[in-house]
Structure 1
Amino acid sequence: MSDSLNKIAFGGGCHWCTEAVFQSLKGVQKVEQGFVASTEKNHTFSEAIIVHFNANLISQKVLIEIHLYTHNSTSNHAMLNKYRSAIYTLSKKQAIEAKQSLSELQHEFDQRLITQVYPFFEFKSSDQRYINYYIKNPNKPFCKNHITPKLRLLLSQFMKHVDVKKLGGAVKP
């Protein structure tokens, strides 16, 4: 990837959770929360985020690894249309690298990864009241029960990639 700002999109579980995880990372400049559609059979929108990142500070492979560990990337659950476990790529090169990363990271998981690589096609932003959900509502039950544990996992497994100032006061290292 080039030295300039890069983009990649991730889907996996609730986009409030995914947004909070990726907002906390060094090298991530911006996270857009909403719904992503791909092409063909995955043309319907599912919850996802677009991550704008500086590849000099955090690699695409590290972003993918964090994505796999912070959502249920091995469960073939019934809500896969709404919560698609996916990496949405914006170029053929990015897709090749994403597939290679999935292959290399599979050995870290006991079960088969269900996360798929799809071409990015379209994005719809979430309603403004849901953007930065965790930052605005860290003490709400959903945040405490679902997002805070993901941020704690992030701190325990990926601390060197976390910008503690971005976490706010809800989760401490």
Structure 2
Amino acid sequence: MAQIILGGGCFWCTEAAYKQLNGVEKVVSGYAGGHTENPTYREVCNGDTGHAEVIKIEYDEEKISLEKILEFFFKIHDPTTKDREGPDVGSQYRSIILYNSEQQKKEIEAFIEKIRKDYQDEIVTELRPLEKFYRAEEKHQDYFEKNPDDAYCTMHAQPKVDKAREFN
């Protein structure tokens, strides 16, 4: 299994969407990209940890490529808005990709360069090596599945889930 760590706003939304994609085997919500060890949701939301809400995606490369995963990532969030996605504002909601190898980094850079012309504004997605991924608390795992009628999920996660179903 290959893996990639992505952050594009609230992890409830991105986790729910990526779980719909053929070839994605596992998605875990968590925190990465910051300086605090073992951060909690509350600490991350306060914005003092440097971490972003992210998802760890494990995928079968024979069924879905990294390019397809990235293509979907750039479809379901705005990579040109710094520290914001929809109603969520703060560095914890920033657009970020954390890579596992130099080869993966090169593939991501090439992909971003290829799509750059599709955006009027500059792509502000942060690209950096993964140092440590911290799994979010259990109540945040599968949040959309557990709370489909939650107003936030209905307004923000469901449209991304719908895009994922169309993307397949």
Give the TM-score category using the shorter length. 0.7 to 0.9
2:161 corresponds in structure 1 to 151
Higher relative contact order (CA 8 A, sep 6+): 2
Aligned pair partner of 1:103 in 113, 121, 130: 113
Shift of 1:46: 1.2
Q: How many residues align?
A: 151
Q: Distance in 2 between matches of 1:11 and 1:93?
A: 20
Equivalent in the alignment of 1:17: 13
Asked if 1:82 corresponds to 2:92, the answer is: yes
What is the identity, as a one-letter code, of the residue corresponding to 2:10? C
Q: CA deviation at 1:137?
A: 1.0
Q: What's the secondary structure of 2:3's corresponding residue?
A: strand
Runs of 4+ residues over 4 Å off in structure 1: none
Q: Which residue identity is paired with 2:15?
A: E
Residue 69 of structure 1: how far off its partner (Å): 1.2
Kindly indicate whether residue 87 of structure 2 is the aligned counterpart of residue 91 of structure 1.
Answer: no
Displacement of 1:77 after TM fit?
4.1
5+ residue gaps, structure 2: 36-48
CA shift digits 1:46-89 (9 cap, x unpaired) = 10011000111111011111111111211124645211201110
Partners of 1:133 and 1:12 in 2: CA distance: 16
- Given candidates 52, 57, 68, the residue that maps to 2:74 is 68
State yes or no: 1:7 paired with 2:3.
Answer: yes
What residue identity is the alignment partner of 2:27? V
Structure-2 residue corresponding to 1:165: none
1:30 maps to which of 23, 26, 33: 26
Q: Structure 1 residue 10: deviation in Å?
A: 0.1
2:146 matched residue in structure 1: 136
Structure 1: give runs of 5+ residues left out of the alignment: 162-173
Q: TM-score w.r.t. structure 1 length? A: 0.81
Q: In structure 1, the residue corresponding to 2:160 is in which secondary structure?
A: helix
Q: Deviations over 1:118-155 (max 9, x none)?
A: 10011111110110001111111011000111122333
Q: Distance in 1 between matches of 2:68 and 2:9?
A: 19
TM-score normalised according to structure 2 size: 0.83
RMSD across aligned C-alpha pairs, in angstroms?
Answer: 1.7
Shift of 1:38: 5.9
Q: Secondary structure at the match of 2:92?
A: coil
1:76 is paired with a residue whose SS is coil
